[in-house]
Structure 1
């Protein structure tokens, strides 16, 4: 073999005969060799004594399999190697011809720092979707706009049809990214009315886009929509202003002294239509994509909340699958509160956070998506 791993002149004929169907069999079996048989023979020969052939499983001594210290990959393997719901392993989702676009991972995990806060986020496919062999409908997106203390972090969660949820989270991130500098300034200055008006317009454009896509597909609007909830966090550690906005079902909770408090904004008349000063993004120009022309994007009201976080609090933004468990099942809420209350003063690691989300909501059929922010 050459240094590049290619057969040299001396061995080129031998490699060609390996794939030649007319070459005589050399094995001890009476049946003709298959191409797999020949490949296995070659890999065993190249591996040599004491070496495993490519692709072969290798066993390790128990002592070598347990590295010292905390290993995220090991912890995740231990916690998620089994079926997440503790039952039979579900079906792999079926996608269309454009699999690269439609493929949706079963589980997503995010973590990071944001100003004076630590963030963990996860989205898990529910038992119902796993059994049916359909993709996770929930979507999770965590992005940062701009570097330095002037930056802004967006955490967005959505539930519904999986194509619509991913479109909704990406669209809201794209819209906010175009006006992120002014948006970050409004958040730092606590300009509630400007934020309410601008974010309402952004939300309407996102859902207008979904309506336009549904119309192009000749599908009813309800078949291509999502419940979208978003959280804005400034990167400035001296700014503790937090902004929530969105449409539809889900949850917004605060964990303080081991107890959950429901912060979900109530429906009000002022949330029925956007009003107030300037939008955060430029309006669509004539001849360009203007999905909001199709009329009101959502029948349910826009939700908005701005508040000042306090050190020691943990904030939970979630989709309806988890919100239902926190609101309706006392044991689920208690388990999550115990797991996420910063035991020993430390924020749970990513693996522990994901494990708590799964184990704390065992028995829930739907997807569960959570973003938790610990204030310092």
Structure 2
């Protein structure tokens, strides 16, 4: 893997005097993790090399939370990538991941039932209602433009289905037998090109896709800072992360952060990645 030309460490950072206090107080690295039953989560959001160089803040955001009642509990994993040309996208991405979780919590029982039935149509209806409600409640404008991907995993290990709600670039990969497989929502003809999709207004609908996974497989949810090099002709990068995250042991938080920081030439954007491992029963 050829390293980028940028230095491998943070340089400038935003100042309170720049007039954007939210940006000034946004850390360059966010690290999280959880153990929920047989599910183990590791999550990291990193300021990209280009933003380190420019002294601008991290525009990506992420949320890890449990939603729903005990009988229909879901593990919620969300990532958002603020659109670079939108001046307040870092605020939009931060706020929308959290408010989407609040609205999806209200729909958790219906999501759980629809997921058990693999009813993608009903899940799409629920997703559009919840995400539209979150955006409307936040009163986001075009200056807050951001993508959003939400993965919901039932904490009941008897249910093998998971659902991905998506608007925009980024998405879900499954590490199976040492190979990364991209999970792509089908285009029903109502969606814009995903390269142009973003909340709050530049999208037609939220896509919903049901996927199944088994213990031993790894689910990776990410923004395009990591899904780009996984997808676009960087086999060394993909192999490195498959080796790091496909072993018998789940990495510690510090190891996961170090691995998530693996640099790839031409990919200098913010990077947010959440991985889920499931232990055997």
TM range (shorter): 0.7 to 0.9
Structure 2, unmatched stretches of 5+, are 1-5, 83-88, 193-199
Residue 359 of structure 1 aligns to a residue whose secondary structure is: coil
How far residue 149 of structure 1 moved from its aligned partner, in angstroms, is 5.4
Whether contact under 8 Å (2:99, 2:134) holds in the other structure is yes
Aligned equivalent of 2:221, options 317, 328, 334: 317
Residue 145 of structure 1 is matched in structure 2 by: 67
TM-score by length of 2: 0.82
Q: Distance in 2 between matches of 1:90 and 1:305?
A: 39
Q: Write the mapping of 1:113-152 to structure 2, written as runs, cut at 5 A.
A: 113-146=35-68, 148=70, 150-152=72-74
Residue 332 of structure 1 is matched in structure 2 by: 237
How far residue 255 of structure 1 moved from its aligned partner, in angstroms, is 0.7
Q: Distance in 2 between matches of 1:130 and 1:369?
A: 15
How far residue 207 of structure 1 moved from its aligned partner, in angstroms, is 4.2
Residue 210 of structure 2 is matched in structure 1 by: 306
Aligned equivalent of 2:101, options 155, 170, 173: 173
Whether contact under 8 Å (2:167, 2:203) holds in the other structure is no
Q: Deviations over 1:126-170 (max 9, x none)?
A: 111111111100001111124645321111100012011112112
Residue 205 of structure 1 aligns to a residue whose secondary structure is: helix
How many residue pairs get matched?
Answer: 259
TM-score by length of 1: 0.63
Identify, as 1 or 2, the structure richer in helix: 1
Residue 195 of structure 2 is matched in structure 1 by: none
Aligned equivalent of 1:253, options 155, 169, 173: 173
Q: Write the mapping of 1:30-109 to structure 2, written as runs, cut at 5 A.
A: 87=8, 89-95=10-16, 99=21, 103-109=25-31
Residue 269 of structure 2 is matched in structure 1 by: 366
Residue 76 of structure 2 aligns to a residue whose secondary structure is: strand
Structure 1, unmatched stretches of 5+, are 1-84, 215-220, 273-295
Q: Distance in 2 between matches of 1:102 and 1:87?
A: 21
Q: Deviations over 1:224-249 (max 9, x none)?
A: 21011110011112222100011001
How far residue 327 of structure 1 moved from its aligned partner, in angstroms, is 1.0
Residue 246 of structure 2 is matched in structure 1 by: 341
Q: Distance in 2 between matches of 1:337 and 1:184?
A: 30
Residue 157 of structure 1 is matched in structure 2 by: 79
Residue 188 of structure 2 is matched in structure 1 by: 268
Q: Distance in 1 between matches of 2:223 and 2:140?
A: 23
Q: Distance in 1 between matches of 2:74 and 2:190?
A: 26
RMSD: 2.5
1:112 lines up with 2:34 in the alignment: yes
Whether contact under 8 Å (2:7, 2:49) holds in the other structure is no
Q: Highest Rg: 1 or 2?
A: 1
Residue 229 of structure 1 is matched in structure 2 by: 149
Aligned equivalent of 1:354, options 257, 261, 271: 257
Q: Deviations over 1:88-126 (max 9, x none)?
A: 541122246673796211111111123432211110111
Q: Deviations over 1:316-346 (max 9, x none)?
A: 110011111111222211111111112xx11
Q: Distance in 1 between matches of 2:250 and 2:140?
A: 41
Q: Does the C-alpha gap of structure 1 residues 307 and 359 become closer, same or farther in structure 2, counting only changes over 3 Å?
A: closer
Whether contact under 8 Å (2:166, 2:206) holds in the other structure is yes
